[in-house]
Amino acid sequence: MTAPLRIALAGLGTVGAGVIRLLEANGELIAARAGRRLQVTAVCARERNKDRGIDLSPYAWEDDMTALAARDDVDAVVELVGGSDGPALTLARNALSGGKQLVTANKAMIAHHGMELAALAEERGVALKYEAAVAGGIPVIKGLGEGAAANRIERIYGILNGTCNYILSQMESTGADFGDVLKAAQELGYAEADPTFDIEGVDAAHKLSILAALAFGTALDFGAVETSGISRISAADIAQADALGHVIRLVGIADLQEEGGEPRLFQRVQPVLVAKGHPLAAVDGPTNAVVAEGNFVGRLMFEGRGAGDGPTASAVVADLIDIARGNVTAPFSLPVSALQAVAPADPGQRVNRAYIRFSVADRPGVLAEISAAMRDAGVSIESLIQQGHPDDGSGDPVLVAMVTHDGPESAISSAVELLDGSPSLIEPPLVMRLLA
């Protein structure tokens, strides 16, 4: 057996400690499969004396994590600190420029700086691996980059954030409203104390931009991801979706299409209505699922735990095994110079059905006003649902929901603009598309 792969580990939180536990538990099996041992030589974390339930005495400790990249006894650096910039990015740059292999679970860093880091890795002839950055333990990066490499991927979409999926699943099963379920999720550890990145779709958008670059051979463009979250979804929306034979899921969708003879990249993270017969409808709890549609292989679905120490550590170590085997490939399957810079698609040209929910004042004429706006914008209404009695004089807000026929998104945007500023609306309309 050849010399061990010597590893420096930056970050000893849930995932970092999980990596050490996994290497200790499955060390012999991993060595047999990799053809060499995976040996941690140095570590770094914010607090040196914190009890992590693991023995750190065999490893050298660095107080400055950027020093890990300069150590002579390190072949590969694992970055598990997080953050798109700051020390994590400095460590990544230093490791790659110094000829060290790099493994990261940092989806924000890859989404914002992946092109730069990939170019640096190619220049130095080392690996940049990030399986753990997207969907935790699900091998979707390897599945797209290797297993489906012979296919032209036509669309990629999925449930990319376990926190949001847990909240929506609990709203379905309990009938509770968003705020109550979020609080419970925080108490159980499924949601952060500040859940903004999760519930507003930013975390999922990071992952979607990475998947899009890998699937379509396009340059990373996180800034072009149209993003909205789940904080406005109410128990009433969940109930209406159920009555329509659907569930609500936060879904990231990307595809490459032509507009005026030129390729355009569509990227969106948004809550959508998913028909109960669709595979994504059955994905509940803190689970992730990614669907890729290839022109020869058809529909591929990757599903599993998207976070946690075990699944994420598994993905990190899988990348290390690849490196130990000498598997160094272009980080996004194509050389950086071959990744095509593609302008964002115009979402207004997309044709689909939509669910639109209005919270309106309880007074005469409101339905007529909404219907007129839909008519003037060219939106065809398939069904209309009204809760309460708009003419009973109670003054309480009334929920009005509708489902449209297939039509361009630009028409719905026009209808919403026509209603903007109307005293009849208590809040802006909530628009969710129906996943086709």
DSSP state of 126: -
Total Cβ atoms within 10 A of residue 88: 23
Contact present, 428 and 416 (Cβ < 8 Å): yes
Q: Return d(Cα 267, Cα 359) in angstroms, integer.
A: 28
Question: How far, in whole angstroms, is CA 267 from its chain's centroid?
Answer: 11
Distances, alpha carbon 282 to alpha carbons 156, 162, 213, 340, in Å:
18, 14, 27, 35
- What six digits make up the tokens of 198? 């999760």
DSSP state of 340: B
Contact present, 425 and 265 (Cβ < 8 Å): no
Q: Is 154 left (phi over 0), alpha (psi -120 to 50) or beta?
A: alpha
- What six digits make up the tokens of 72? 């002579």
DSSP state of 218: B
Using alpha carbons, select from 348, 316, 346 the residue that is nearest to residue 416: 348
Burial of 70 (0-12, 13-18, 19+ CB in 10 A): middle
Q: Return d(Cα 160, Cα 269) in angstroms, integer.
A: 9
Any bridge partners for residue 344, and if so which?
265
Contact present, 161 and 250 (Cβ < 8 Å): yes
Catalytic residue among 50, 183, 207, 276: 207
Q: Return d(Cα 44, Cα 66) in angstroms, integer.
A: 9
Q: Return d(Cα 352, Cα 436) in angstroms, integer.
A: 8
Q: Return d(Cα 332, Cα 281) in angstroms, integer.
A: 29
Question: How far, in whole angstroms, is CA 347 from its chain's centroid?
Answer: 20
Contact present, 362 and 392 (Cβ < 8 Å): yes
Total Cβ atoms within 10 A of residue 396: 10
For 267, the 3-state DSSP assignment is strand
Specify whether 207 is catalytic: yes
Contact present, 333 and 379 (Cβ < 8 Å): no
Q: Using DSSP bridges, classify how beta strands 298-305 and 226-227 pair: parallel, antiparallel or unpaired.
A: unpaired
Which residues are tagged catalytic? 207
